Chain A
Amino acid sequence: MNIFRLTGDLSHLAAIIILLLKIWKTRSCAGISGKSQILFALVFTTRYLDLLTSFISLYNTTMKVIYIGCAYATVYLIYMKFKATYDGNHDSFRMEFLVVPVGGLACLVNHDFSFLEILWTFSIYLESVAILPQLFMISKTGEAETITTHYLFFLGLYRALYLFNWIWRFYFEGFFDMIAIVAGMVQTILYCDFFYLYVTKGQGISL
């Protein structure tokens, strides 16, 4: 564990909690892409199946359970509890345009053609593009609530910190995972446009 990975995980946790609290407190998911949240729930489900097969640390297990729990709770709030506030017309990105190519790529480019490894690779590739429906929705509505921009900021920051974590781990531990690194770069690059607006505007954002 290193400082980049720890702050990255905390940033990710902050993003997930911010979103969940925003929806719960305002009792509204206006401006939130339910499709991105479904994709994140799918990312965590396919990546954390190893909860059933291996124990790495209390921290690792605890965080995985929290991530999965919050992801499904968020999807539940959007599609069930506060369904009336879900803006389906603007959340029109076709998820199959992401899931199908990512699924195919995971079968072609992976470290090992085994069930868990393919699912892990699928989750890594999917996570790198899972935010697209949300960014697409903001570009369609033309604005985003301030709290939503904080959610996106911490979500984008987490994988950027992971890039530094991988530099650290390569230098100090010789750890190197090309699949995670390339996908992490793609994921972070997708936020660049948003980061620029977030830093320059500070307030509500129009992509």
Chain B
Amino acid sequence: EEEVPEKDEL
């Protein structure tokens, strides 16, 4: 299961 990069950017 691929780890989803965090979405902390605009």
Contact = CB atoms under 8 A, between A and B. Distances in A.
A60 B4 contact: no
A80 interface: no
Chain A interface mostly helix, strand, loop or mixed?
helix
Contacts, number: 27
Nearest to B8: A56
Q: Bin the interface of chain B by size.
A: under 10
A162 B9 CA distance: 10
A120 B7 contact: yes
Contact of A63 (B2, B7, B10): B10
A9 interface: yes
Contacts of B5: 111, 175-177, 180
A64 interface: yes
16 contacts: A9-B10, A12-B10, A50-B7, A56-B7, A56-B8, A60-B10, A63-B10, A64-B10, A111-B2, A111-B4, A112-B2, A162-B9, A165-B9, A175-B6, A177-B5, A180-B9
Interface of B: 2, 4-10
